[in-house]
Amino acid sequence: MKRVRTKIRANFRRRVKRTLKGNLKEKLAGTILLCAIVPLAVLGYLFIVIIGTFFNTARARQGVRAL
């Protein structure tokens, strides 16, 4: 009975470690992507607003279509 419990605990610990490592990698990748993509999206939006406000609006429309 002790051997069975020890094996079950060892297997459980291995599964937990694998799961935590996998989740941590996914969360880290998602965080890095969000930190890169969101500021670029904000800058692009501001660029379109500035172009549309002060310059030819046809260019702003082209930028929106490109997105």
Report pLDDT digits (tens) over 3-58: 656 666 666 666 666 666 667 778 888 888 889 898 988 998 888 788 778 887 77
pTM over 0.85: no
Could you tell me the residue range of the domain that residue 14 belongs to? Answer: 2-66
Tell me, what's the pLDDT at 33? 87
Look at 46 and 66; give whichever has higher pLDDT: 46
The residue to which tokens 């904000």 are assigned: 42
pLDDT at 63 over 80: no
3's enclosing H/E stretch is helix 2-54
The 3-state DSSP class for residue 67 equals: coil
- As for how many domains the chain has, the answer is 1
Contact 48, 58 (CB under 8 A): no
First to last CA, the chain: 63
